[in-house]
Amino acid sequence: MRKITIDKAAEGMVLAKPLKKADGQVLLGEGGRLSPRVITRLNEWEIDIIFVEGEPESPDEEECAVGMRIDTASLEEICATIDQRFKYVADHIVMKKIIRGLKEHFLRKYNANVSGQTDDQDSSK
Amino acid sequence: MSVDKQTIRTVVSKVGTLPTLPYVVTKLSKMLENPLVSAEEVNKVISSDQALTAKVLKLVNSAFYGFPGQISTVTHAVVILGFSAVKSIALSASVFDMFPMENKSLYFDRKKFWEHSIGCAVIARLLARRIRYHDEEEAFVCGLLHDIGKIILDQYLHDEFVQILQEVRERDVTFLEAEQVVMNCTHARIGSWLGEQWSLPAQLRDSIAHHHNPEQSNPEFTLSKLAHLADAFTRAKGIGNSGDDLIHAVSREAWDILHIADKDIPDLFDEIDVEIEKAEIFFTIISEMKSSS
């Protein structure tokens, strides 16, 4: 997923997150394609940032505040990142609980994501 | 590098010239100490600053507070969201105004810094709700401001700041360890000096000063423990970046206030995800305000 400012919006880009006005009103859903008409109206809707499909082209384009990107990371990568972050405190009694809980949380998300993708494939058949 | 008293003195003297909080926000803070204050009085104070009024209205009407597009006046905002929320919004908007988003250093990304701080703010608020702390909004502000000392370092003691970041990278240590080596002073202490200058409430200042060592704060104060826990959870989830990627050991005293069973920890992280989505809304609005002002 890329997080881009609207000056980089181009025709044909696919939304990775719904296009919403400041008041929360959804203008175009996830998976929607940007048309020239939509692009010209982004300003009018007071939208500055949009999320589109694709790999980030710069650190700026990495989505804010998502933590580990569950949609692209493998379980091994997730666990390795967690172990790296906790490497100096992994034997601490409270931290052991947090690490276990965090891994369980990511495992659930990962599984939900995998089964979600399978459902998508099933329904498109 | 040796301990250098001169460096600390320099830190202190430069901090003497720190930015001041807008008069309106300080006045608001004082006013709200009086339980008999009315929504109309709060409206009068905020409305005397038009730019602030516009920002407050934009934030309260965002999806972040759950009443999108429904609140047209400050008085209305106070009635719906409460005094504490409106104060927290005014304070947040002012803090973002004071410090530019543009990076001063190659190795410190201010956007990532604010992502970390806002993440910490929403998580502190979530934890406050969980333990039934009396003022969730105060918890939000304590999360938002816990690392404010780092921005002061970046802005006013930039050479020391760059040295600290170098230490972090070269020796793979935490920011806290690195700053003690470089200047024998911490961002927590600098942040609490700023809090004094801004006349922030005692418990909020204490939470900034002791977010790394809540066991040393006043035992009656809960905020420092909430900031400490929220910081750990924000780091655990990898939300934003405040100068290093490492996580500190959580203090036992702080952990115990959560009263959480091991089996419920994954659920807490699920709840944190929901809060982080809200944090993204808050962050986007704040960034928009910065780019339009």
Let me know: does B258 contact B124? Beta carbons within 8 Å.
no
Question: A108 contacts in B (CB within 8 Å)?
Answer: 266, 270
**In this structure, what CATH number is given to the domain that contains residue B142?**
1.10.3210.10
Question: A87 contacts in B (CB within 8 Å)?
Answer: 246
Question: B255 contacts in A (CB within 8 Å)?
Answer: 94
The domain boundary, picked from B63, B90, B117, lies at B90
Nearest CA in chain B to A49: B284
- Residue with the bigger pLDDT between B155 and B292: it is B155
Let me know: does A70 contact A110? Beta carbons within 8 Å.
yes
pLDDT band at B8 (very low <50, low <70, confident <90, very high): low
Of the candidate ranges A38-47, A80-89, B220-229, B261-270, the one whose mean pLDDT is the lowest: A38-47
pLDDT at A125 over 50: no
pLDDT at A2 over 50: yes
Chain B residues interacting with chain A (CB cutoff of 8 angstroms): 58, 61-63, 68-69, 109, 111-112, 115, 118-119, 174, 232, 235-240, 245-250, 252, 255, 262, 265-266, 268-270, 273, 276, 279-280, 283-285, 287-288, 291
B31/B108 same-domain check: no
- Domain range for B123: 5-19+99-292
**Chain B contact probe: residue of A1, A68, A98 with most B CBs at under 10 A:** A98
B49/B68 same-domain check: yes
B86/B110 same-domain check: no
Report the distance separating Cα B248 and Cα B6, nearest Å. Answer: 29
For chain A, what percent of residues have pLDDT higher than 90? 26
3-state secondary structure at position B67:
coil
Domain count, chain B: 2
Report the distance separating Cα B172 and Cα A41, nearest Å. Answer: 47
Nearest CA in chain A to B249: A89
Q: Which pLDDT tens digit goes with each residue over A12-64?
A: 999 988 887 766 678 888 889 999 988 888 878 877 778 888 877 765 665 54
pLDDT at B2 over 80: no
B67/B195 same-domain check: no
The domain boundary, picked from B46, B66, B90, lies at B90
Nearest CA in chain A to B246: A85
Angle, CA B290 vertex, CA B288 and CA B293 arms, to 5°: 105
Closest CA relative to residue B293, chosen from B107, B54, B13, B9: B54
Q: Which pLDDT tens digit goes with each residue over A58-95?
A: 656 655 434 556 666 778 888 888 999 999 999 999 99
B68/B170 same-domain check: no
Question: B232 contacts in A (CB within 8 Å)?
Answer: 98
B30/B151 same-domain check: no
pLDDT at B293 over 60: no
Report the distance separating Cα B112 and Cα B244, nearest Å. Answer: 11
Contacting residues for A70 by C-beta, under 8 A, at least 6 apart? A78, A106, A109, A110, A113
**Chain A contact probe: residue of B60, B101, B172, B247 with most A CBs at under 10 A:** B247
Cβ distance of B283 and A101 shorter than 8 Å: no
3-state secondary structure at position A5:
strand
Q: What rounded mean pLDDT belongs to chain B?
A: 89
Cβ distance of B279 and A92 shorter than 8 Å: no
B71/B132 same-domain check: no
The DSSP code for B184 is: S
Question: B245 contacts in A (CB within 8 Å)?
Answer: 84-85
Tell me which range, A106-115, B18-27, B159-168, B191-200, is most confidently predicted by mean pLDDT.
B159-168
B173/B106 same-domain check: yes
Classify residue B221 as left (phi > 0), alpha (psi -120 to 50) or beta: beta
Q: Which pLDDT tens digit goes with each residue over B71-113?
A: 999 999 999 999 889 999 999 988 988 887 888 877 789 989 9
B50/B14 same-domain check: no
Report the distance separating Cα A29 and Cα A32, nearest Å. Answer: 6
The domain boundary, picked from B90, B113, B136, lies at B90
B115/B140 same-domain check: yes
Closest CA relative to residue B76, chosen from B86, B84, B66: B86
> Which of B62, B237, B262 has its CB closest to that of A97?
B262
Cβ distance of B236 and A65 shorter than 8 Å: no
Report the distance separating Cα B117 and Cα B126, nearest Å. Answer: 14
**Chain B contact probe: residue of A48, A60, A64 with most B CBs at under 10 A:** A64
Cβ distance of A81 and B62 shorter than 8 Å: no
Q: Which CATH class is domain A2-61?
A: alpha beta
pLDDT given for residue A118 in this prediction: 64
B164/B264 same-domain check: yes
pLDDT given for residue B191 in this prediction: 92
B103/B56 same-domain check: no
